Copies of this chain bind each other. A is one copy, B any other.
Amino acid sequence: MTDERRKFKREPAEARKEALILATLELVAENGVRGATVRGIAQRADVTQGLIRHYFSSKEELIIAAYEHHMNQMTDLTFAPGAAAGSARARLRAFVDGSLTPPVVDPRALALWASFLNKVQNDPQMKETHERTYAYFRDRLEVLIAAALEEAGRPAPAARLRQLAIACNAVIDGLWLEGGALPDAFAPGELVEIGRHSVAAITGLDLMQEAGT
What residues make up the interface of A, taking CB atoms closer than 8 Å to B? Answer: 30-35, 107, 110-111, 113-115, 117-118, 121, 131, 134, 163, 166-167, 169-175, 177-178, 181-182, 186, 193-194, 197-198, 201-202, 204
Contact = CB atoms under 8 A, between A and B. Distances in A.
Contacts of A115: 114, 117-118
A30 B119 CA distance: 10
A186 B198 CA distance: 22
Contacts of A178: 166, 169-170, 173
Contacts of A134: 181-182
Given A32-B118, A167-B197, A170-B194, 6 more contacts: A34-B34, A107-B121, A167-B175, A167-B198, A174-B175, A177-B177
Contact of A117 (B110, B197, B201): B110
Nearest to A193: B163
A9 to B, nearest CB: 34
